[in-house]
Chains A and B, each alone.
Chain A
Amino acid sequence: MKKIAYKNLDLLYKEIAGAQELYLPVKVAKATNFKKYEDGVEVDIKSLQTVKSAKDLFFPQSEDMMEFKTSGKNIEIIDARKTPAPFVLFGVRGCDLKSFEILDRVFLAEPVDTMYKAKREAVTVVTLACNNPESSCFCKVFGVDASNPKGDVQATIVGDEMFFEPLTEKGRALLDSLKCLEDGDATAVEGEKKAIAEKIDALPFVNLDLSEFKGENLMKLFDRPEWEDLSKACLGCGTCTFVCPTCQCFDIRDFQTNAGVKRFRCWDSCMYSEFTKMAAENPRKNQMQRYRQRFMHKLCYFPSNNDGEYGCVGCGRCVKKCPQSLNIVKVIKKLGGKNND
């Protein structure tokens, strides 16, 4: 167990950034997102969550895959994938870390996505326990322990000090390489962890009933009439999918530059009307079908393909960020099971 005074955290960041790239929550304008550490950036690990989740570091919102040079009838393919340098991801909360495991089930399944895999192997994750979870958090429902967020190193803020517990070889190697850390005793964090656990138990959504959501009920859930009212106010924007840490859908598009064509991969949203548009027709014409697809995929389709593991980590971003306050909690409360109401 290592520790450092809260006010010397800048020294820690500088030391880590000296050795390898460091990504941590940085406040730019009025929003906190994971950005690269440089001198003079405003680090903000006080706010509970970043707007875009840490998935952006492994499955970026847009990423060049290759470039084509065409001359006459011939095409030349230039591989534009960059192999990532080792980097440290600091300040990841328990829910975001669980989302990496869910994304691993998608991108590391056969055929493996090498771009994602390279980044996942190049990272050392330093997670941070949530000292004061918000009312929109419900990570406990999906088996996440916010006081022990796992990862390579587990950090906890106690009073005006931050304690680091290494959990993996990578974590131990990182902590040992940092001189500005002193040794701390393991019992110091017990009290804070208990306090966090109590706060989490007092949250409003902590005991949601998910019993109805399983593979066998797929057709029953699909035909439930409540989807009409649940999705009535949905605007079909992509906010819930772009802030969600477990959304995996992407699009592959071409961009004509002046000297050739860049093919890149970018996030896509099942809530957009063009998502399933075909030359002939669009199987999901109205917003209710798209809305249903999004939550059925997270709560029913994904678990039935991944031995019961849900596609949601209970981070509460969709609860906070939906323009019209529609979210997965309202879906669970309506369709999840009897003792929700």
Chain B
Amino acid sequence: MVLSGKRLRQLSAVVIALALLAACGGPSASSGASGTPHSGGTLAIGIESEVDVLDPQRAGGWVSWRVNRQMFEPLVDEDLSKPSAQAAVPALRPGLATSWELSPDGTVYTFHIRPNVKFHDGTPLDAAAVEFNIRRMWDKSFQYYDAKAAGQTNFVWQPLKSIATPDPMTLQLTMKQPFEPFLRLLSQGGNGSTGIMSPASIKQYGNDNVGEHPVGTGPFKFVDRVRGQRITLARNDDYWGTKPYLDKVVFRPLPDPSSRVASLRANEVDMIAVPPPDSVASLQQSGFQVSEGAPPHVWFLSFNFNDPIMKNKLVRQAINLAIDRQGMATNLLKDTVKPAYDVQAPANAAYVANTEAYGYNPDKAKQLLAQAGYPNGFSTVMMTSVDGSGQIIPVPMAEYIQQNLAKVGIQIQLQTTEWISYLSKWAQGTPPGVGWAQQSWGMTTPYWLYIVTSSSLKAPNGPNVGGYSNPQLDQVMQQAMTATTEAGAVEKWKEANRIVTDDAAIAPIVNDKAPYILSSKVHGFVSPSEEWYDLNTVWLS
């Protein structure tokens, strides 16, 4: 303790300094503004959970991708330099491919690999390297094929027929049939990603261990990782694109929301993800900045079509009408979310603003229930998790719904599970007796709707956990996917939305604004319309 005496004084000094800083910083401090950007400094980010693995192709969950994305890049990327307000859907931009062409029949993609790009280990990027990566995720006969990576990136590569490299810097991918969402899917992360890794590193460390020695091409490179404590990245000074200002970035997993807020207040981190809604206002008052976006996030309920009561469309519609989304957004979640009425998030080309469809209307809900033969309501079970990525505060939200439904006579019991085991429970499909299972998901590509509603992907085959199936919907979505123009596709997807909405197969509840709380010395942070972000533009004062 003698030792810490000194340290103690230092700390209190820091605290005082912080107080002063907050005082002069004031609540007006807004990101991007004051002063001129300059490089240097370490940005400490308090993230909501531990990162599973630093292998972008294997990694699951947004949390992991937010870290991996700083080190790894896909062929085609999204432009995350614009806030949601300026770009509802992030535009696609060249990533490790400078340009690409699609054959008229929509089956052959030709990518021109970006020249003079080096991996962090110094090895050069070329078509062969990219092919190596793709085969790792797709080609069962490949020496470095990895079932886990394949499992994660399943939906990207399943239409792929063959790979060719006509010249060292050109890559040709031939599809089984036209697959319109392909380019957008290349830019996605969260359920695996197509981030390109250094083949040398995979050869050196093997599929299982390469995650401990991540080597990519991104703006930041790996420094060290202490599980449960930190992941440290440093600026990649020979990055091909605009080099970041920050010298270092430290991601610190702080799963407990309260301790997350505490370490921000104690200046142990400069920024935190997923603040408890009730903390946002007071943090703002004490001089912290709030950065919000409109990512492709839907907090939704999948109704159980194997449940006798839920089979009834009227019941599903009634439930939709009985939930006070706006109330939840303002009262419980302090406007850190927007009420959701469409199955697709606004950050999605196929978004339909059908607000009127399921506005809060308990009386109409009661009528529908009566029509459906449940004048006095019924009781059922709701499955949700106690925490987890994108889940915001699932239990209080579920309790909110429970209270809403109680008002129309529907008694629900909550079945809450810890996130990791919830994922597997959820994926196994909703058991009879359970009315609906809750989940948070979404993508900027409308194709996501297919993933959660296609009858070919009924759980446990896929993520259609409610076992919803509508032939007409399947057909429309098929047309959307095989469309050769984006516009054509989007039209079909919107049609699909309407079908799902009319069936009330899924009850979208809210869209997260994914708020981040930043200390007043953080500048240039942008919340784009994605579940993840870039850090090239961030600088510290």
- Whether chains A and B associate is no
Interface positions of A (Cβ within 8 A of B): none
B residues at A contact (CB < 8 Å) = none
